[in-house]
């Protein structure tokens, strides 16, 4: 390309901003803080949707749609909830040229309006559980925005379920966290730490909030997906009750869980390099790009015929393929262009390759000659499929190695502060002192990302208080 990206080491923030635009994922909207998701970015989101939706349906969930507008009084019914969101609300006061009798909130999330609906639908234990998900966009009036990571409007899925008991709601909450973990690891090749949020960091109105936390390429944390056990807070606020088997009225136990287009930001920042994106094959809009190379019209016809044949065979084998037939553009420009867009595997076909009935394979995740190999056209689909799996696995292993290498286990508070200043994750013993948590955040700008579900057992000295602690927590600076 004419202009290279800033290096990640030189200016990670500007590298990210330019890459989102130059890889054709998104663009800025005329409304401050909003984004236009371009076709290439939307194709990636569609693949994320498909991978998640498949998992949701396999666990018994169904999709529905609820309104964009929520009566403001609904949010005020659940005090913790409205206090958590009030600075971010967009409120409509005029409709059809007249002032509305009651202001309407543009949904920041749908717990309240879904709670209202569930109160009408649920009457008996026979109606439970209710397992609904919806795909939509929500609006939160953010002050500081960044494409995909934090925008006024963003796209996501939000699951909302109702159950007869705390145990059932807790099992649902944990199950959906497992679904997110499985998706992140096996589809996006993003290693994550599943855990529970501290009381200070949990979702407004939740009993427990669970999260998957990922380390980005600049070592900052990103909350990549959340699952909340809402207890009976929303059920009591919206009078969601059922008659149990003993003919007694009981409040339901509800959950909510969500993963958004923010995850696209995670994929970019975990896997990208100074040349651009590197897409995990299982989610990439195009898994393979075929670039024909020729000098004359005669060569062009022969090479394009072979390239078309290769594409046809790969598509028949279930591979997502782009044949780059653009004229007047050099192969080198095309190579750089598709490297910027992160296509996992490039197939080059020139006149000599046609003669030999072979192609050149170039892996995006390996630089230069290290990523290049030759393959016969016969049996190419099997070779490409195997190579895509190899790329997927290598991307995950590289990201996991990076996260482990940048996770520290400091023993003293001074060591902790030094590690945080160096941008590391800190895995430390923690006694749960809310006052010290707030003080550490003020002093270091680090927060408890999560208390991992996987604990070492035993006991250690709390990094904040020095008192005995029986659990470890992950601290880090975050987006």
> Per-domain residue ranges for the chain?
12-271, 288-387, 407-476
447 close to 441: Cβ distance less than 8 angstroms: yes
Q: Given this model, what pLDDT does residue 76 score?
A: 83
Residue 1: what pLDDT?
44
- Rounded CA separation 194/206 (Å): 17
Q: 12-271 adopts what CATH topology? A: BirA Bifunctional Protein; domain 2 (3.30.930)
Among the listed residues 256, 258, 212, the one whose alpha carbon sits nearest the alpha carbon of residue 235: 256
Instruction: Say what the pLDDT of residue 204 is.
Output: 83
Query: CA quadruple 8, 12, 18, 24: dihedral positive or negative?
Result: positive
Residue 12 has pLDDT above 70, yes or no: yes
Q: Render pLDDT for 322-336 as a digit per residue (tens, 0 to 9).
A: 999 999 999 999 999
What is the pLDDT of the chain when averaged over all its residues? 96
Q: What pLDDT sits at residue 161?
A: 98
Cross-strand pairs, 193: 213
Model confidence at 81: pLDDT above 70: no
Tell me the percentage of the chain whose pLDDT exceeds 70.
Answer: 98
pLDDT at 318: 98
Q: Per-residue pLDDT tens for 266-306? A: 999 999 999 999 999 999 999 999 999 999 999 999 999 99
Does residue 84 surpass a pLDDT of 80? Answer: no
User: What average pLDDT does range 204-210 have in this prediction?
Assistant: 93
> What one-character-per-residue DSSP string does 289-318 give?
EEEE--SSHHHHHHHHHHHHHHHHHHHHTT
Taking the chain, what is the end-to-end CA distance rounded to the nearest angstrom? 30
Q: Collect all residues with Cβ–Cβ distance below 8 Å to 188 and sequence separation of at least 6.
A: 48, 263, 266, 267, 270, 280, 282, 283
Check residue 87 and give its pLDDT.
Answer: 74
Confidence tier at 85 by pLDDT (50, 70, 90): low
CATH architecture of 407-476: 2-Layer Sandwich (3.30)
Q: pLDDT tens digits, residue range 45-65?
A: 999 999 999 999 999 999 999
CATH architecture of 288-387: 3-Layer(aba) Sandwich (3.40)
> How distant, in Å, are the alpha carbons of 155, 263, 384 from that of 140?
11, 17, 43
Task: Evaluate whether 12-271 and 407-476 have a shared fold.
Answer: no
Tell me the C-alpha distance between 72 and 106, whole Å.
Answer: 9
The CA R_g of the chain, rounded to the nearest whole Å, is: 25
Query: Which three-class secondary structure state does DSSP give residue 170?
Result: helix
Q: Is 0.85 topped by the overall pTM?
A: yes
For 401-421, the pLDDT digits (tens) are 999 999 999 999 999 999 999
Please say if the pLDDT value at position 3 is more than 90: no
The pLDDT-based confidence of 205 (bands split at 50, 70, 90) is: confident
Helix, coil or strand: residue 209? strand
Give residue 128's pLDDT band: very low, low, confident or very high (50, 70, 90): very high
Question: DSSP secondary-structure letter at 205?
Answer: T
| 8 Å CB contact between 111 and 139 | no
Which tokens go with 398? 């590289």
pLDDT of amino acid 182:
98
């Amino acid at each position: 390309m004419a202009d290279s990206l800033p290096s990640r080491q030189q200016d990670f923030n500007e590298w990210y901003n330019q890459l989102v635009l130059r890889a054709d994922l998104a663009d800025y909207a005329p409304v401050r803080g909003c984004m236009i998701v371009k076709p290439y970015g939307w194709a990636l989101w569609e693949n994320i949707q498909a991978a998640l939706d498949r998992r949701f349906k396999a666990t018994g969930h169904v999709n529905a749609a609820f309104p964009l507008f929520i009566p403001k009084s609904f949010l005020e019914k659940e005090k913790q909830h409205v206090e958590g969101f009030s600075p971010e609300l967009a409120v409509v006061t005029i409709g059809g040229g007249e002032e509305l009798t009651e202001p309407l909130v543009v949904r920041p999330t749908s717990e309240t309006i879904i709670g209202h609906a569930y109160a009408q639908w649920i009457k008996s234990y026979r109606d439970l559980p209710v397992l609904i998900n919806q795909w939509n966009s929500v609006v939160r009036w953010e002050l500081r925005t960044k494409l995909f990571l934090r925008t006024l409007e963003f796209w996501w899925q939000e699951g909302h379920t109702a159950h007869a008991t705390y145990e059932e709601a807790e099992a649902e909450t944990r199950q959906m966290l497992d679904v997110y973990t499985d998706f992140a690891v096996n589809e996006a090749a993003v290693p994550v730490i599943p855990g529970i949020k501290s009381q200070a960091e949990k979702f407004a109105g939740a009993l427990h909030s669970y999260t998957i936390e990922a380390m980005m390429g600049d070592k900052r944390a990103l909350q990549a997906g959340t699952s909340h056990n809402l207890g009976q807070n929303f059920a009591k606020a919206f009078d969601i009750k059922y008659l149990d088997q003993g003919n007694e009225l009981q409040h339901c136990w509800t959950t909510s869980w969500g993963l958004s287009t923010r995850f696209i930001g995670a994929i970019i920042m975990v896997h990208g390099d100074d040349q651009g994106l590197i897409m995990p094959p299982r989610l990439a809009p195009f898994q393979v790009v075929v670039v024909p190379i020729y000098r004359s019209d005669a060569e062009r016809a022969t090479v394009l015929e072979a390239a078309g044949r290769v594409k046809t065979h790969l598509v028949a084998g279930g591979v997502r393929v782009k044949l780059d037939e653009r004229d007047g553009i050099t192969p080198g420009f095309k190579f750089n262009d598709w490297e910027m867009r992160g296509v996992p595997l490039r197939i080059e076909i020139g006149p000599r390759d046609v003669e030999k009935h072979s192609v050149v394979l170039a892996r995006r995740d390996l630089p230069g000659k290290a990523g290049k190999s030759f393959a016969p056209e016969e049996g190419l689909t099997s070779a490409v499929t195997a190579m895509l799996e190899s790329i997927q696995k290598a991307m995950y292993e590289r990201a996991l190695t990076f996260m482990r290498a940048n996770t520290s286990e400091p023993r003293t508070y001074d060591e902790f502060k030094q590690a945080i200043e160096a941008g590391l994750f800190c895995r430390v013993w923690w006694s749960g002192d809310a006052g010290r948590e707030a003080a550490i955040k003020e002093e270091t700008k680090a927060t408890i990302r999560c208390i991992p579900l996987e604990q070492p057992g035993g006991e250690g000295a709390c990094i904040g208080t020095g008192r005995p602690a029986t659990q470890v927590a992950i601290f880090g600076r975050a987006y």
